[in-house]
Amino acid sequence: MSKATRWSSPEMGARLRRRRAAERRFRRLGLGAVALALCALVVLLASIAWNGASAFVRTQIALDVDFDPAAVGALGAGSAAERAAQEGEVDWSVLVRGALEREFPGVSGRSERRALLGLVSRGARGILRERLLRDPGLVGRRERIWVPAAPDVDALVKGQIPRDPEASGRLSEQELGWIRGLEERGLVRRVFDWSFLRSGDSREPELAGVGGAVVGSLLALLVTLAVAFPLGVAAAVYLEEFAPRTRATEILELNINNLAAVPSIVFGLLGLAVFLNTFGLPRSAPLVGGLTLALMTLPTIIIAGRAAILAVPPSIREAARGLGASPLQVVAHHVLPLALPGILTGAILGMARALGETAPLLMIGMVAFVVDVPRSFTDAATALPVQIYLWADSPERAFVEKVSGAILVLLGFLVVMNGTAIWLRQRFQRRW
């Protein structure tokens, strides 16, 4: 039988048809897997965005506050030191309650007054205090000031709880009537909550923000980049260009590869033992968090750097040596510039992984409740993943949207960092 006859035989035709059918099934399965993964990603992102979008919106209630001199005392006069000394003597809740009672003059009784005062956030008192200290001329005047609403009122206005007292179970019929009255008079509004991006943590969900966590994460990442990048690039250059191929070098390379797969909490234990217990660095500080994350990121940068250096064609090195360049000049003037896109990409991806880590930071104490935004590398701080963990563990229902909002901020940082890695690779990459 000839070769042409064998390929055109019915048996061979059936075999080819089965092979092509198997290829088509495999292609469909691959496309189905990709489509399923994309659908899961879209559902996840849509769920987070749906729950977290409201975290960037704040409900406010207008109060016509009467800064009666009898209530604020001498807080509006004198020097700054004298006004500061008078702060603790002013009952700011009286001013808030008085503004609300003027809107609803029929309210009487201690329980009704307490319920009426509960329509606004506890942070309203601090807003009145800061406003008066900033403008002492308000004493003796009536001023309209917008203050945050209480969490239940905020959820009601946003449509997160029904307006039926039996269905909601959180607001009474009288409280719902007060809210309707305020809305009819135009004393309720929804505005973009800039304080969510600027302020630190708070026990009150309507006052809590991610500003402190964002600054803490940025400070920690700066320390991580300053430590891990130069050490990782130097180690990659040495191992790939200068290290002799001995048993010790092989063991070192094996350990670096193994360290890249070590659970992150192990690096947290190392940071706790070395930086806190041995060197006595400040606990819950971005300096310690950055150093711990640098230990975790270092193997990733070394591996990515070695791969980028290895991808440089040997002809580049040979041509440089042929022109009389020394080994150091070959690396500094030719190899590193060509390998820079891959090195930067690996470094940024390692930093993006460090940005999302929680376990190492928990071990070094960055789980503390921090209200103030850190201003230096040694101030007490927290990080975005830790802040999300703390809010997710809170029993307050109003923190649910804060968790989703913080996740959106974290995802935004990750998208920016990965986009930067892609741009750097496209910007500096050279083809040969």
In a domain, 240, yes or no: yes
pTM: 0.83
145 and 62 fall within a common domain: yes
124 and 226 fall within a common domain: no
116 and 262 fall within a common domain: no
Token reading at 255: 């350990």
230 and 178 fall within a common domain: no
In this predicted structure, what is the pLDDT of residue 81? 43
Token reading at 260: 């890249």
112 and 243 fall within a common domain: no
Q: What's the rounded Cα separation, in Å, for the pair 101 and 303?
A: 67
In a domain, 220, yes or no: yes
Q: Which of 131, 164, 193 is the last residue of a domain?
A: 193
Q: At what angle do helices 336-355 and 399-428 cross, to 10 degrees?
A: 180
SS3 39: helix
Q: How many CB atoms lie within 10 A of CB 60?
A: 22
CATH number of the structural domain spanning residue 380: 1.10.3720.10
CB neighbour class for 10 (10 Å; exposed up to 12, middle 13-18, buried from 19): exposed
264 and 174 fall within a common domain: no
82 and 229 fall within a common domain: no
308 and 388 fall within a common domain: yes
Q: Note whether 408 and 52 are within 8 A (CB).
A: yes
Q: Note whether 182 and 103 are within 8 A (CB).
A: yes
CB neighbour class for 240 (10 Å; exposed up to 12, middle 13-18, buried from 19): buried
In a domain, 335, yes or no: yes
In a domain, 120, yes or no: yes
In this predicted structure, what is the pLDDT of residue 235? 92
Residue 164 structural domain? 54-193
In a domain, 165, yes or no: yes
184 and 215 fall within a common domain: no
For the chain, how many structural domains are there in total?
Answer: 2
Q: What's the rounded Cα separation, in Å, for the pair 120 and 145?
A: 12
- Residue located via tokens 């749906």: 50
154 and 238 fall within a common domain: no
* Amino acid identity, position 164: D
Buried b (16+ CB within 10 A) or exposed e, 138-173: bbeeebebbbbbbbbbbbbbeebbeeeeeebeebee
In a domain, 33, yes or no: no
248 and 337 fall within a common domain: yes
Q: Which of 141, 161, 193 is the last residue of a domain?
A: 193
Question: How would you write the pLDDT of the chain (432 residues) with one tens digit per residue?
Answer: 455 556 677 888 888 888 889 999 999 999 999 999 999 999 988 988 888 888 899 999 999 888 888 777 655 555 444 554 455 567 788 888 888 888 888 888 888 888 888 889 888 888 888 888 888 888 888 889 999 999 888 988 888 888 877 766 678 888 888 999 999 989 999 999 888 988 888 888 888 889 999 999 999 999 999 999 999 999 999 998 888 888 888 898 888 888 888 888 899 899 989 998 888 888 888 999 999 999 999 999 999 999 999 988 888 888 888 888 888 888 888 888 888 888 888 888 888 888 888 888 888 888 878 888 888 898 888 899 999 988 988 878 888 889 989 999 998 888 888 888 788 777 776 666
